[in-house]
Chains A and B, each alone.
Chain A
Amino acid sequence: MLATIKAGELCRKARIPPFHAGLRALSADLMSTYTIQGATGDWEVVIGLEVHAQVTSKSKLFSGAATAFGAEPNSQVSLVDAAMPGMLPVPNRECIRQAVRTGMAIEAQINKWSRFDRKNYFYADLPQGYQISQLYHPIVGEGHIDIAPDDKNPDAVKRIGIERIHVEQDAGKLMHDQHPTMSYVDLNRSGVALMEIVSKPDMRSPAEAGAYVRKLRSILRYVGSCDGNMEEGSMRADVNVSVRKPGDEFGTRTETKNVNSVRFVMAVIEQEARRQVDLIEDGGKVVQETRLYDPDKNETRSMRSKEDAHDYRYFPDPDLLPLVLEDDFLADCRASLPELPDAKRHRYENALGLSSYAAGVLTAEVETARWFEALITEAAKTAGKSEADVAKQASNWLISELFGALNKLGKSLEDSPVTPAAGGELLALIANGTISGTIAKQVLELMLETGDSAGVIVEREGLKQESDTGAIEAVIAKVLTDNADKVEQYKGGKEALFGFFVGQTMKAMAGKGNPQVVNEMLRKALG
Chain B
Amino acid sequence: MTDLTNLGVAAIRDGVAAGSFTAVEVAEAFNANVAAAQEALNAFIVTTPEAAITAAKAVDADRAAGKPLGKMAGVPIGMKDLFATQGVQTTAASHILEGFKPQYESTVSAKLWQAGAGMLGKLNLDQFAMGSSNETSYFGNVISPWRRNDGGNVALAPGGSSGGSSAAVAARLCPAATGTDTGGSIRQPAAFTGITGIKPTYGRCSRWGIVAFASSLDQAGPMARDVTDCAIMLEAMAGFDPKDSTSLDLPVPEWSANLSGDLRGKKVGIPREYRVDGLDADVAKSWDDGIAWLKDAGAEVIDISLPHTKYALPAYYIIAPAEASSNLARYDGVRYGLRDLPDGSGLQDMYAATRAAGFGAEVKRRIMIGTYVLSAGFYDAYYTQAQKVRTLIARDFVRAFELCDVILAPTTPTASFGLGEMVSDPLAMYLNDVFAVPASLAGLPAMSVPAGLNAQGLPLGLQIVGKPFDEQGVLNAGLAIEARAAFTARAERWW
Chain A residues within CB distance 8 Å of chain B: 79, 82-91, 118, 120, 122-124, 127-130, 183, 185, 311, 313-315, 317-321
Could you list 15 examples of A-B contacts with CB < 8 Å?
Answer: A88-B208, A88-B244, A120-B326, A122-B351, A127-B330, A129-B332, A130-B326, A130-B329, A185-B334, A314-B374, A315-B323, A315-B326, A315-B374, A319-B212, A321-B245
A311 lies within 8 A of B375 (CB): yes
List residues of B (217-247) whose CB comes within 8 Å of A's CBs.
242-246
**B contact residues around A79 at 8 Å (CB):** 103-104
**In the assembled complex, B102 has its CB within 8 A of some CB on chain A:** yes
Chain A minimum-CB-distance residue to B91 = A85
Among A85, A87, A183, find the residue whose CB has the most chain B CB atoms closer than 10 A. A85
The one of A123, A185, A313 in contact with B374, judged by C-beta atoms closer than 8 angstroms, is A313
Residue of B nearest to A83 (CB): B330
Alpha-carbon distance A118/B348, docked complex (angstroms): 21
Q: Please tell me if the beta carbons of A85 and B374 are within 8 angstroms of each other in the complex.
A: no
Whole-angstrom distance between the alpha carbons of A83 and B329 in the complex? 10
CB proximity to A under 8 Å, residues B324-359: 325-326, 328-330, 332, 334-336, 347-348, 351
Any chain A CB within 8 A of the CB of B23? no
Q: Tell me, in angstroms, the Cα distance from A118 to B323 when the chains sit together.
A: 10
Q: Are B336 and A84 touching (Cβ within 8 A)? A: yes
Query: Which A residue's beta carbon lies closest to that of B100?
Result: A85
B106 and A319: CB pair below 8 A?
no
Residues of A within 8 A of B325 (CB): 120, 313
Check B123 for interface membership: any CB of A closer than 8 A: no
Query: Which of A84, A91, A127, A185 counts the most chain B CB atoms within 10 A?
Result: A84
- B interface residues (Cβ-Cβ under 8 A, vs A): 83-84, 90, 92, 97, 100, 102-104, 106, 207-212, 214-216, 242-246, 322-323, 325-326, 328-330, 332, 334-336, 347-348, 351, 371, 374-376, 379, 383
Most buried by A among B102, B103, B329: B329
Q: Which residues of A contact B83 (CB under 8 A)?
A: 86
**Residue from the list B92, B246, B330 in contact with A321, Cβ < 8 A:** B246
Please indicate the chain A residues that have their CB under 8 angstroms from the CB of B84 in the complex: 84-86
Cross-chain contact A129 with B207 (CB below 8 angstroms): no
For the complex with contacts A88-B207, A129-B329, A313-B326, 10 further pairs of A-B residues with Cβ separation under 8 Å are A84-B103, A84-B336, A85-B212, A87-B208, A88-B245, A122-B348, A127-B334, A185-B334, A315-B323, A320-B246
Which B residues touch A123, using CB under 8 A? Answer: 347
Chain B residues whose C-beta falls within 8 Å of the C-beta of A311 in the assembled complex: 375-376
Q: Which residue of B lies closest to A185 (CB)?
A: B334
Q: Please give me the residue from chain B that is nearest to A122 by CB atom.
A: B351
With known contacts A86-B208, A88-B207, A315–B379 Cβ distance under 8 A: yes
Distance A129 CA – B347 CA, assembled complex (angstroms):
13
Most buried by B among A90, A123, A183, A318: A318
* B376 neighbours in A (Cβ, 8 Å): 311, 313
Q: Is the CB of B243 within 8 A of A88?
A: yes
CA separation between A187 and B375, bound complex, in Å? Answer: 28
Contact B375 A319 (CB under 8 A): no
Question: Out of B335, B347, B374, which one reaches A82, CB within 8 Å?
Answer: B335
Question: How far is A3 from B348 in the complex, measured between Cα atoms in Å?
Answer: 54
**Closest Cβ of chain A: how far from B219's Cβ, in Å?**
12
Asked whether, in the complex, the Cβ of B211 is within 8 Å of the Cβ of A85, the reply is yes
Asked if B102 and A84 sit within 8 Å, CB to CB, the answer is yes
Q: Is there contact, CB below 8 Å, between A84 and B104?
A: yes
Verify B332–A122 contact, CB threshold 8 A: yes
Among A86, A118, A122, which residue has the most Cβ atoms of chain B within 10 A? A86
For B106, the chain A residues whose CB sits under 8 A away are 86
CB B63 to nearest CB in A, in angstroms, measures 33
Interface centre among A79, A183, A314 (most CB of B within 10 A): A79
Closest to B350 in A: A124
Task: Give bound CA distance, A315 to B102, whole Å.
Answer: 29
- Give me the 8 closest cross-chain CB pairs, A-B, nearest first: A129-B329, A318-B215, A313-B374, A318-B216, A83-B330, A86-B209, A85-B211, A319-B215
* Distance of A314 Cα from B322 Cα, bound (Å): 10
Nearest opposing residue in chain A for B322, CB measure: A315
Q: Indicate whether A124 sits within 8 Å of B347 (C-beta atoms), given known contacts A85-B330, A129-B330.
A: yes
Q: Which single residue of chain B is at the shortest CB-CB distance from A63? A: B243
Note all chain A residues with C-beta closer than 8 A to B323: 315, 318
- Chain A: CB-nearest residue to B384: A315
Which residues of chain A come closer than 8 Å to B322, judged between CB atoms? 315
The answer to whether B102 and A120 touch across the interface, beta carbons within 8 angstroms, is no
Bound-state CA distance A311–B92 (Å) is: 28
The residues of B that contact A91 with a CB separation of less than 8 Å are 245
- Which residues of A sit under 8 angstroms from B371, Cβ to Cβ? 313
Check A85/B103 contact, CB under 8 A, given A315-B379, A315-B383: no
In angstroms, Cα B243 to Cα A319, docked, is 11
Which residues of A lie under 8 Å from residue B100 when comparing CB positions?
A: 85
Closest CB in chain A relative to B11 CB, distance in Å: 32
- B336 neighbours in A (Cβ, 8 Å): 84
CB <8 Å contact, B245 and A129: no
Quick one: given A122-B329, A129-B329, A319-B215, are A89 and B92 in contact (CB under 8 Å)?
no
Query: Residues of A contacting B216 with CB < 8 Å?
Result: 318
Smallest Cβ-Cβ distance to B242: which chain A residue: A90
CB distance from A521 to the nearest CB of B (A): 80
Please tell me if the beta carbons of B208 and A319 are within 8 angstroms of each other in the complex: no
